[in-house]
Structure 1
Amino acid sequence: MAIPSLDFLPPSSIESDTGRRDNGRAARTLAVTGLNHALHDGFTDLIYVLLPVWQSEFALSYGLLALMRGLYSGVMAGLQIPVGRIAERVDGKMLLVLGTALSALGYFFAGLSGGVIGLGLSLALSGAGSSTQHPLASAAVSRAYGKSARGPLGIYNFSGDLGKAAIPALAAVLLVIMSWRHTLQLMACAGLLVAACIALLMPAVGKGHASKATASSHRSGRARGGFYWLLAIGIFDSAVRMGFLTFLPFLLRDRGASLPTSGLALALVFIGGAAGKFTCGWLGERIGTLRTVLLTEGGTAALILAVLVLPLTPAIVLLPLLGVMLNGTSSVLYGTVPELAPPHLTERAFALFYTGTIGSGAIAPVLYGLLGDALGPTVATVATAATAIAICPLALALAPHLSDEADARHSSV
């Protein structure tokens, strides 16, 4: 009888010295990719703290500010699928090292930029480096843990939220004691240090495996329709989240909030978002995807409107709960992708889902920014709440494609 290859067994199932070594390699892979995830997600959301600074420095409109934000996310989203193809021929560890170093250098050059063109090119360079992070690090963790990867992948995802909470808050404090240019250069040094950690500590990932599936006829009409409804919800949900976060620093500033207060407020949103990923994933298993999406999107709209009308202190108090609602939907949607995609197309479905949602996060702030230029930031923020409400009919259209019993019972809600 043939002996199964160790590459396809979870480390915990191998009873030998080799198994113990593989356990150690898997733990190192998770620790290093978690650190890398925290850095890149922190780099992504660091931009929100800097938007008011750049507005004063370069006299930018809301549309141009949103474009600065969109350049980073747009390049990152657009390069994820090509990066995955390159990883079929090059070790993923090397690509992670190069990508992290490139992202750090992008922020270093942003600190040296003398105008909006240089700033935009630097942010695009940093976004290109960050395009390696999600697809390659997720694959590295999955390959390291095999069938036992669900829990480690959850830890990996949570590490990104830690970076979102820590790095923008740290930057806001640094901006009080040094210029924004020196702050970015210090962050770039931290990024280069993380790249060195990947190179020295992370085990080799190996080359990716191209999909062996060739029969597209295996995809059922139900699965395809369900997946594209899911993708549409993900795109709109990302638009709401990124659009609101773009305007939040300005809403707080107009009420007298200082830079450290704005950094704290963003940290509260991101901490709430991390909690939302766990809470709403648990909630979705118990009451179903449909009801969870309706709850989170309805809650998002209501809390955005509450933040608009409340004074500064009560609004800040609500931000952790708003973070739960803003991020909660994404965790439910992500877990539903495998249900709606045929097994031989699951990887492709995840790649498309990531690209669609991140691309939406890049484009939507530009559209909301133009609306903010025309009608003001308050009206643009109300538009994000209206977008959240618009997701509810899409969720109802998705319900017939869902297989869990809770949604089957409540699809007529």
Structure 2
Amino acid sequence: MTPRDWWTEKKKSLTGACLAHAVHDGYTDALYVFLPVWQAQFGLSYAMLAIIRGLYSGTMGGLQIPADRALRGLSPRAALILSTLLAAAGLLIMALPLGLPGLCVGLVLAGIGSSIQHPCGSTLVTVSYGAASRHPLGIYNFSGDLGKAALPALAAVLLPVFGWQPVLGLMAAIGLVLSLALVPLAPAVPIARAARTATGTGTGMGGRGRGGFGILTVIGALDTATRMGYLIFLPFLIHGQGGDSATVGLALALLFIGGALGKATCSLLGERLGIVGSVMVTEAATALLIAATLLTSLTPTLFLLPLLGIVLNGTSSVLYGAVPELSNGDTGRAFAVFYTSVIGSGGLAPILYGAIADHGGQTVGVLAAAATAALIVPVVLTLRPYLDAPAGGAAATEPVSDSV
């Protein structure tokens, strides 16, 4: 295989992983557009709505590690296509006139599909680029935000015209198209994974580094709890300020466009301030901006949302890039554990915030999300000693040759 062929294979792998990430993350956040419709149609409280939403995110998060283990023998092509077909099938079931039980079954099946995509796509990018995977992982992470910006906006525009069930059917069709697109892009043979553990006082998941990785996952969980908690209230916040369904879609798109910009912004901030400093700045800004959207009218809120998106979503890029450095070289397992933590938090936290809102009102629920962001500031300080230790995780993963 010539260097040119090798470079082409790496680019194809990155492109396939990014396309899958964009569609699956788009599915995940497009569901927020449907929450007010489901609440009205099925008579759900905030807490029950969060539980219904949690069927998807909880399944997706809880199956990250089992999916990574069970499907290691599959090629990235087979795994990514399987994940997309399952997610699309889940959306199709949701689109059928099966009432609330059908909606719940579809959410679970879609969550199973998306649980496969994250560890597979992350590992594919990491083993393709080896020690130089930080920037490609940033591109992979950024692609998810493109999907978050595009699919919720598309759903919001079509929802008033076609109704929620046909729109879900259209989103399922997008997944079928992606499955075909992955055939020439994703590798057709299983990827060879590094299994070496960082030595000495390195920052792996064993020894001293285990503490660092554990703290990282806790911070990731709190960061995700803040984001998901605020997102479950945002459609109702916009409606309360006089916006309609199309405005909700615009609000979500503005927030996620800001989040996509935040990937680059927070990366630059991280180079200047380091992981600890950048997380402290972004989480403090997140808490303040979330509170500010409670005090503004509709138009100022829409102007604030891109700024909020930068810090609300951008922090995850800083945390995500640290996973290979704090792992033991088995990046597939490390990403699976990290995703289990953050997605599980994303599924459970809105239920807690929803219960708070049911008892104390929507404003109290939103402020609880802001308080979670503020809590991260002292927690991230405990990560500093592990980041000062010699890094071994990233270097422990080398590019594979013919397997990708």
TM-score (norm 2): 0.90
CA deviation vs aligned residue, 1:353-393 (integer Å, no higher than 9, x gap): 22101110111011111111122211100111111111122
CA deviation vs aligned residue, 1:259-291 (integer Å, no higher than 9, x gap): 111101101111111111211121112112222
Which has more radius of gyration?
1
Q: Which residue of 1 aligns with 2:354?
A: 369
- More deviation, 76-85/378-387: 76-85
- More deviation, 63-72/235-244: 63-72
Letter in 1 for 2:167: T
Q: Which residue of 1 aligns with 2:230?
A: 244
Q: Which residue of 1 aligns with 2:41?
A: 57
- More deviation, 120-129/325-334: 325-334
Q: How does 1:225-236 map to 2 (within 5 A)?
A: 225-236=211-222
Q: Which residue of 2 aligns with 1:283?
A: 269
Question: Given the alignment of the two structures, is residue 267 of structure 1 paired with residue 253 of structure 2, yes or no?
Answer: yes
Question: Given the alignment of the two structures, is residue 33 of structure 1 paired with residue 26 of structure 2, yes or no?
Answer: no
Letter in 2 for 1:403: D
Pick one of 371, 376, 382 that aligns with 2:367: 382
Q: 1:71 to 1:216 in 2, by over 3 A?
A: farther
Deviation at 1:344, TM superposition (A): 4.3
Deviation at 1:345, TM superposition (A): 5.5
Letter in 1 for 2:74: V
Q: Contact 2:258–2:306 at 8 Å: present in 1 too? A: yes
| Structure 1 counterpart SS, 2:370 | helix
TM-score (norm 1): 0.88
Question: Which structure is higher in helix share?
Answer: 1
CA deviation vs aligned residue, 1:73-98 (integer Å, no higher than 9, x gap): 11111111122112322222112111
Residue-pair matches, total: 388
Q: Contact 2:235–2:248 at 8 Å: present in 1 too? A: yes
Q: Which residue of 2 aligns with 1:97?
A: 81
Pick one of 130, 136, 144 that aligns with 1:160: 144
Q: Which residue of 2 aligns with 1:125?
A: 109
Question: Given the alignment of the two structures, is residue 81 of structure 1 paired with residue 65 of structure 2, yes or no?
Answer: yes
- 1:150 and 1:215 map into 2 onto residues whose CA distance is 21
- 2:379 and 2:131 map into 1 onto residues whose CA distance is 33
Q: Contact 1:41–1:161 at 8 Å: present in 2 too? A: yes
Q: Contact 2:76–2:186 at 8 Å: present in 1 too? A: no
Pick one of 311, 328, 333 that aligns with 2:319: 333
Deviation at 1:200, TM superposition (A): 4.5
- 1:27 and 1:88 map into 2 onto residues whose CA distance is 22
Pick one of 173, 195, 202 that aligns with 2:186: 202
Q: Contact 1:88–1:210 at 8 Å: present in 2 too? A: no
CA deviation vs aligned residue, 1:104-128 (integer Å, no higher than 9, x gap): 0100110114322221111110010
Q: Which residue of 2 aligns with 1:72?
A: 56
Letter in 2 for 1:370: A
Q: 1:208 to 1:375 in 2, by over 3 A?
A: farther
Q: How does 1:394-413 map to 2 (within 5 A)?
A: 394-403=379-388
Q: 1:315 to 1:397 in 2, by over 3 A?
A: same
Letter in 2 for 1:302: L
- More deviation, 263-272/140-149: 140-149
Residue ranges of structure 2 left out of the alignment (5+ in a row): 391-404
Q: Which residue of 2 aligns with 1:13?
A: none
Question: Given the alignment of the two structures, is residue 42 of structure 1 paired with residue 26 of structure 2, yes or no?
Answer: yes
- More deviation, 378-387/77-86: 77-86
Deviation at 1:21, TM superposition (A): 2.8
Deviation at 1:161, TM superposition (A): 0.7
| Structure 1 counterpart SS, 2:388 | coil
Pick one of 300, 306, 310 that aligns with 1:320: 306
| Structure 2 counterpart SS, 1:309 | coil
Greater RCO between the two (CA within 8 Å, min separation 6)?
2
Q: 1:346 to 1:152 in 2, by over 3 A?
A: closer
Deviation at 1:181, TM superposition (A): 0.6
Letter in 2 for 1:399: R
Q: Which residue of 2 aligns with 1:360?
A: 345
Letter in 2 for 1:363: L
Q: Which residue of 1 aligns with 2:209?
A: 223
| Structure 1 counterpart SS, 2:242 | coil
Q: Which residue of 1 aligns with 2:296?
A: 310
Residue ranges of structure 1 left out of the alignment (5+ in a row): 1-16, 406-413
Deviation at 1:203, TM superposition (A): 3.2
Pick one of 243, 247, 251 that aligns with 1:257: 243
Pick one of 156, 164, 169 that aligns with 1:185: 169
Q: Contact 1:37–1:160 at 8 Å: present in 2 too? A: yes
Q: 1:202 to 1:344 in 2, by over 3 A?
A: closer
Q: Contact 2:148–2:256 at 8 Å: present in 1 too? A: yes
Q: 1:29 to 1:401 in 2, by over 3 A?
A: closer
